[in-house]
Homo-oligomer: A and B are copies of this chain.
């Protein structure tokens, strides 16, 4: 592994999640400062939790100032380019999926580099990927996307974290294969949204009354 792959993919993941946060801030009528803060919470929150769990000094988001660039860029992008806030829902889903795809790869990678066992690496990859989005949705008083039963969210993240961990142990992981894993996750997530792929409900007996996508 080179040092650059995780950083480039990680910053791109921060940017995608930060756009989703700034879009939600715009939809909720927050101001530009709230947009930067919510974008930062989504983009940096999952990674901060991961770095705190790995317990290897202050989280990268605080010690490395380059991590501040993506949330600021995302807030500016949303401020200047979003024409119709009410119709930005699909865009929000796409950027959220991009962040999910990149973070399950880079989250696992950081845990692998820190010498955690394979199961813990997969878990930390998934935690990094879903953590920021949970923070975003809780803060804006929504039920987190990861709990929406009408599509798949955590399963693509598990697939991506599993692929990354397996490829790392086989020494197949590089910029191309890491990006490919992220593309697989993104595609799975978007297809599940498009075609309504979903997992069984939490209680089997509840299934008959399952809410359907209108």
In this complex, how many residues of chain A approach chain B with their Cβ under 8 Å: the count is: 66
Does A83 touch B at the CB level, under 8 Å?
A: yes
Which residues between 7 and 48 of chain A lie within 8 Å of chain B, taking CB atoms? Answer: 22, 25-26, 28-35, 37-38, 48
For A113-157 the 0/1 string (1 means CB < 8 A from B) is 000110110011000001000100011111110110100111100
In the complex the two chains form, is B202's CB within 8 Å of A147's CB?
no
Could you tell me the distance between the alpha carbons of A140 and B148 in the complex, rounded to whole angstroms? 11
Q: Are A146 and B68 in contact (CB under 8 A)?
A: no
Binary contact readout A176-214 vs B (1 if CB under 8 angstroms, 0 otherwise): 000000000000000000000011111111100011000
Taking a contact as CB atoms under 8 Å apart, the answer to whether A202 and B78 are in contact is yes
A116 B29 Cβ-Cβ under 8 A: no
- Tell me whether B79 and A202 are in contact (CB under 8 A): yes
Per the bound structure, the CA–CA distance linking A32 and B118 in Å amounts to 23
A35 contacts across to B, CB distance below 8 A? 202
5 closest Cβ pairs, A-B complex: A35-B202, A26-B203, A31-B149, A26-B202, A31-B199
What are 5 A-B pairs with beta-carbon distances under 8 A? A29-B211, A31-B199, A53-B58, A65-B117, A85-B205
